Amino acid sequence: MTDANILTVQVDSAETSLAWATLGPRRWRCTVGEGGVREDKVEGDAATPAGEYPLRRIYFRNDRLVLPKVGLPARPISEHDGWCDDPRSPTYNRLVRVPNEWSAERMWRDDGLYDLVVVVGYNDDPPEGEWGSAIFLHLARDDFGPTKGCVAFARTDLLELVTLIGPETRLRVLARPAVDQATTSNVDAKLLEDFDERDW
């Protein structure tokens, strides 16, 4: 697997949900969860899980957009589609029909955020414990406000991105913000600058 198959997401700083997503030479603005990026994500914390995950499939509103040619399996969202977010349910972190006896998030939304959704393979093989559910790439709000744990993009950007990903693509969410990484790089450069072979 090459870097061309890795969709990397990194937040600007720990104080913001704004991030950049890169795939090969392309880069898009995006936003992550209001709970930040966490390696110890749990259900309901509104955090985006750090780590590397496959991308499973695409769901879309065919009454609101025309899906371009894509490499992942895709199907339209129906009015009765939901995503189970109840850890007690045998269908936890799965597409379900709503309403049902378990808690589930409706996929058919009025606000347009789920007009285009890419399912991230997080805690789904199989779903376990209360480590979180319904982690998607989806459309961002106009103000690029934080999500409940997903990664969100502008409509035109996500429409472009879905044409570039396939079964071999993996999402890599970095735990360290870009500003921290830049600071560490500067410190390392300063240490090299101060290095004297006579001290070795």
pLDDT of residue 4: 85
* CATH number of the domain to which 139 belongs: 2.40.440.10
Residues in the chain: 200
Q: Could you tell me if residue 193 is inside a domain?
A: no
Give the predicted TM-score (pTM) of the model.
0.90
Q: Could you tell me if residue 179 is inside a domain?
A: yes
- pLDDT interval class at 194 (50, 70, 90): low
Q: Could you tell me if residue 196 is inside a domain?
A: no
- pLDDT interval class at 193 (50, 70, 90): low
Q: Could you tell me if residue 98 is inside a domain?
A: yes
Q: What is the mean pLDDT of residues 91-114?
A: 97
Cα–Cα distance for residue pair 52/154, rounded to 1 Å = 22
pLDDT of residue 117: 98
pLDDT in tens, 142-185: 999 999 999 999 999 999 999 999 999 999 999 999 988 765 44
| Mean per-residue pLDDT over the chain, rounded | 92
pLDDT of residue 181: 75
CB 173 within 8 A of CB 9: yes
pLDDT of residue 179: 87
Q: Could you tell me if residue 195 is inside a domain?
A: no
Range of the structural domain that residue 82 is part of: 3-188
Number of domains making up the chain: 1
Q: Could you tell me if residue 130 is inside a domain?
A: yes
Q: Could you tell me if residue 37 is inside a domain?
A: yes
Q: Residue 22 pLDDT more than 50?
A: yes
pLDDT in tens, 27-67: 999 999 999 999 999 999 999 999 999 999 999 999 999 99
Q: Could you tell me if residue 101 is inside a domain?
A: yes
- pLDDT interval class at 3 (50, 70, 90): confident
pLDDT of residue 23: 98
pLDDT in tens, 64-85: 999 999 999 999 999 999 999 9
